[in-house]
Amino acid sequence: MSNKIFIITVFISNIAFGSVLPKIDLQRVVNTKSTNKLTTKISTQLFNRGLEKHIAKAKVKNSLMHDDELNAIMAHNIVKTLKTVNEKDIVDFLAQSALRGKKVDLSSYSTLIALVQKSSQALLDKETLFHIEKVSLENESLKAMRVVS
């Protein structure tokens, strides 16, 4: 009899206190200062190439498929996993794509292949392709986890 009371007490307390636990919010990795934003770096590079500021910003906004924070997290993920690519390579690649009016998705496998090929002149081996696929899948999961507010 005491075992049943104990089990029922534990069950009820789990139900009661389970709803009180705080929700864990994902910590943002991105510094939101305007000078450190990925889009700002891209538009600044386009401005330095001769475009007017408002046109450069519009081209970057139309080129990137996701919001600033998600693109910055994806770019950070790429730099962290693919050792042959650095942030400057990503900014150059995205600036070139924006200049051409091409849509860019940093979770796309083909986009990552093009980025790596542009940043390093070496042939892609199996290990590099594996890492590219891994980054692509991780960035896809980041898109899926993104909550629209």
Residue 16 has a pLDDT of 65
* Per-residue tokens: 80: 């962290």
At residue 90, does pLDDT exceed 80? yes
- For 91-147, how does the pLDDT look when each residue is reduced to its tens digit (9 = 90+)? 999 999 999 999 999 999 999 999 999 988 777 889 989 999 999 999 999 888 765
Query: What predicted TM-score, i.e. pTM, was given to this entire model?
Result: 0.71
Residue 18 has a pLDDT of 59
- For 20-42, how does the pLDDT look when each residue is reduced to its tens digit (9 = 90+)? 544 444 444 444 444 568 899 99
Residue 40 has a pLDDT of 92
Residue 64 has a pLDDT of 92
SS3 per residue for 18-66? HCCCCCCCCCCCCCCCHHHCHHHHHHHHHHHCCCCHHHHHHHHHHHECC
Residue 124 has a pLDDT of 85
Instruction: Calculate the alpha carbon distances from 88 to 42, 61, 92, 95 in Å.
Output: 10, 19, 6, 10
